[in-house]
A and B are shown apart, each in its own frame.
Chain A
C-alpha cells in the first residue's frame, strides 16, 4: 500500500475530490496547510506598511491506496489540480506498512 499526499491550491479541492471519486477512491483525508515553493508568498499593505506573507494557504489531500493504483491516483490528482501556473503544488507517495480499520479490525488492503 502507498500513501499519496497532494498539496494543492484550495480552490482545486472540489475538482480533485470529484476526480478521485470518479476513479473509485472511496475516502480521503483533507487538511488545511500553508507553505511555499518556487511561488514564494505575496505582499499585503496595511496603512501604507507592506508585509511579505511567505506562507500561502494550501490544502493537503491524503489517500492510502493499493500499490497498483498509486501511479494512477497520482495522475488523476495531477490532471484535476493543474492550472499550469506557478503555485499548483506537489504530489508525493510513500510506502505504508500496515493499515487497520478501527470499526472492524480488518488489516492490510482489506481495510482500505
Chain B
C-alpha cells in the first residue's frame, strides 16, 4: 500500500505541535499558582509526558485502537509494544484502493497515527493537574496518571476516536453506533479531564486558606506565554485531526482561529461588565475556553458558527469559574470552569449550529436538521461525563486511602516545591541565595572520599574553603 507523503508530513508535524501544548499547559498553570508551588505545578505536566509516553507504546495505543471488544475497549495485547506496526509496507491507515475511474488514495503509516494519538493522551492527563494545584503528593500523582489513563482515557478514546476500519475492523460505540460528532476531543479530552479534575478536587480537599488567603497568580506573563503556546499547538490538535493535509484540515484551522478570537472577546466583555476591567488572565482564559469549545465542532460548523460557539464559550466559562466559590469545591485553576464547561458547550452546540456545508456534512437544529444530532451530542457528552466522574472517583479514593494523595498541612503552607522536589523556583535576591553551601554530591567528588572535605562552602567569589 502506498503512503501519502503530504498527509504523513502534516500528521507528524501536528503531533509535534500537540506535544508542545503540554509544556504550554505547564506554563499556563504554573503562572497561575503562587511562587512556592510553580515547579510542582509544571512537574505534574512534565510527569504526565513521561509516564504516558511509556504507557502508550506498551499497552495504551492497543487499548485505544486495537480490535474492539463490544465497542467498549480495544484489545490491549494486540499491539503491545507496537512491534507489529513497524512495517511501513503493510501498516498503513486511511488507504483507499483504486475504484473505477478514481485513482488510489494513499494513507499514513500506522506509526504516524500512533504518534498523533499519543500526544492527545498526554495532554488530557496533564489538564487534570490544574484542579489539584499546590497540594498533591507527587508520587501518587505519577501513579494516578498511569492508572487513570489505563482505566479512563484509553477506553474513552476508543469510544470516541476509533472509527470502524481505520486502525481496526471494529471501533468504539460513540464514534460508530451513536455517531456523536467529536472531531478532536471535546468529550474524550476536555469533558473527560474536566470531570476527573472535579472529582479529584473533591476527594483531595481544598487548599489551606481557600477563600481566605489571597491566591492570586504569581506570574501573569507565564500564563500569557502558556496560552500562546496552547493556541499555536491547538492548530495541530484540531487541523491535525483531519489525519491528512486536505480541505477538512484547512476548514478546521480557520474555525479554530475564529472561535478562539470570539471567546477571548466574550470573556473580556463579561469581565468588563461584571468587574469593570478586561484582564490579561481573562484574555488567556477566554482563548483556552474558545479552543476547548471549538475542538469537537471545528469540522461541523461554518466560520460564523465557530464565532457563535466561541462567544458563547467565552461568556459561559467566564461565569462558570465563579461556581467553585459558591459551591465550595477548590478546583484551583478552573479545570471544571474552562474544560468541562467549554467541552460541554462545544459538544452540545454542534446539535444546534452544525451545517451540512461543513466537512462533517450534518445539519443541526438551527439549520433544519431537527433534533437528531442534538440528542446524539447530549448522550455522547453525558456518557463520557458520567463514566469519567464515577471511575475517577474510585481511582482517586483508592489512592487517597492507601498511598495518600495529599501532602501534610505544614508542608503545603511552606510550599510544595520544597517539600516534594527540594527546589525553589526563583532566586531573585542579589545575595546569591544567602550562604549557599554544597553538601556532598558529584560536584566536588564524594564526601566520603578520603581527601575531599565532607562539606564545601562556596563563597561569593566561587573559591572553596
Of the residues B214, B216, B217, B322, contact of A48 by C-beta under 8 Å: B322
CA distance A45 to B285 in the complex (A): 14
Contact B216 A46 (CB under 8 A): yes
Interface residues in B316-338 by Cβ distance below 8 A to A read 318, 321-322, 325, 334, 337
Q: Cβ of B275: which chain A residues have Cβ within 8 Å of it?
A: 45, 48, 50
Contact B271 A44 (CB under 8 A): no
CA distance A50 to B322 in the complex (A): 11
Q: Cβ of B214: which chain A residues have Cβ within 8 Å of it?
A: 51-53
Interface residues in A36-67 by Cβ distance below 8 A to B read 44-53
CB distance from B406 to the nearest CB of A (A): 23
Interface residues in A53-84 by Cβ distance below 8 A to B read 53
Interface centre among A47, A50, A53 (most CB of B within 10 A): A47
Q: Cβ of B337: which chain A residues have Cβ within 8 Å of it?
A: 47
Q: Given A51-B214, A52-B214, A53-B214, is A45 in contact with B322 using a C-beta cutoff of 8 Å? A: no
The answer to the question of B281 belonging to the interface, with a C-beta cut-off of 8 Å to chain A, is yes
Q: Cβ of B321: which chain A residues have Cβ within 8 Å of it?
A: 47-48
Closest Cβ neighbor of A51 among chain B residues: B214
Of the residues A45, A47, A51, contact of B277 by C-beta under 8 Å: A45
Pull 19 A–B residue pairs with CB atoms less than 8 Å apart, ordered by A.
A44-B216, A45-B271, A45-B277, A46-B216, A46-B279, A46-B281, A47-B285, A47-B321, A47-B322, A47-B334, A48-B275, A48-B321, A48-B322, A49-B322, A49-B325, A50-B275, A51-B214, A52-B214, A53-B214
CA distance A44 to B334 in the complex (A): 18
Number of A-B residue pairs, CB cutoff 8 Å, is 31
Contacts from A to B (Cβ < 8 Å): 44-53
Known: A44-B216, A48-B318, A49-B325. 6 other contacts (CB 8 A): A45-B271, A46-B216, A46-B217, A47-B285, A47-B334, A48-B275
CA distance A17 to B216 in the complex (A): 34
CB distance from B321 to the nearest CB of A (A): 5
CA distance A50 to B217 in the complex (A): 12
CB distance from A31 to the nearest CB of B (A): 10
CB distance from B224 to the nearest CB of A (A): 13
Q: Cβ of A52: which chain B residues have Cβ within 8 Å of it?
A: 214
Chain B, interface residues (CB within 8 Å), range: 10 to 19
CB distance from B302 to the nearest CB of A (A): 31
Interface centre among B216, B217, B321, B337 (most CB of A within 10 A): B216
CB distance from A50 to the nearest CB of B (A): 7
CA distance A5 to B337 in the complex (A): 49
Q: Cβ of B334: which chain A residues have Cβ within 8 Å of it?
A: 47
Interface residues in B290-347 by Cβ distance below 8 A to A read 318, 321-322, 325, 334, 337
CB distance from B343 to the nearest CB of A (A): 18
Q: Digitize B210-252: 1 where CB-to-A-CB distance is under 8 Å, 0 elsewhere.
A: 0000101100000000000000000000000000000000000
Contact B279 A45 (CB under 8 A): yes
Contact A47 B281 (CB under 8 A): yes
Q: Given A45-B279, A46-B281, is A51 in contact with B216 using a C-beta cutoff of 8 Å? A: yes
CB distance from B229 to the nearest CB of A (A): 20
Q: Digitize B359-402: 1 where CB-to-A-CB distance is under 8 Å, 0 elsewhere.
A: 00000000000000000000000000000000000000000000
Q: Cβ of B216: which chain A residues have Cβ within 8 Å of it?
A: 44, 46, 51, 53
CB distance from A67 to the nearest CB of B (A): 32
Q: Cβ of A47: which chain B residues have Cβ within 8 Å of it?
A: 281-282, 285, 318, 321-322, 334, 337
CB distance from B171 to the nearest CB of A (A): 38
The answer to the question of B70 belonging to the interface, with a C-beta cut-off of 8 Å to chain A, is no
Closest Cβ neighbor of B338 among chain A residues: A47
Closest Cβ neighbor of B32 among chain A residues: A46
CB distance from B322 to the nearest CB of A (A): 5
CB distance from B357 to the nearest CB of A (A): 37
Q: Cβ of B318: which chain A residues have Cβ within 8 Å of it?
A: 47-48
CA distance A45 to B322 in the complex (A): 12
Q: Cβ of B274: which chain A residues have Cβ within 8 Å of it?
A: 48
CB distance from A42 to the nearest CB of B (A): 12
CB distance from A38 to the nearest CB of B (A): 22
CA distance A45 to B321 in the complex (A): 13
CA distance A52 to B217 in the complex (A): 14
Q: Cβ of A50: which chain B residues have Cβ within 8 Å of it?
A: 275
Q: Cβ of B282: which chain A residues have Cβ within 8 Å of it?
A: 47
CA distance A32 to B334 in the complex (A): 34
Closest Cβ neighbor of A50 among chain B residues: B275
Q: Cβ of A48: which chain B residues have Cβ within 8 Å of it?
A: 271, 274-275, 318, 321-322
Q: Cβ of B285: which chain A residues have Cβ within 8 Å of it?
A: 47
CA distance A46 to B318 in the complex (A): 11
CB distance from A101 to the nearest CB of B (A): 22
CA distance A78 to B134 in the complex (A): 45
CA distance A3 to B271 in the complex (A): 48
CB distance from B315 to the nearest CB of A (A): 12
CB distance from A109 to the nearest CB of B (A): 30
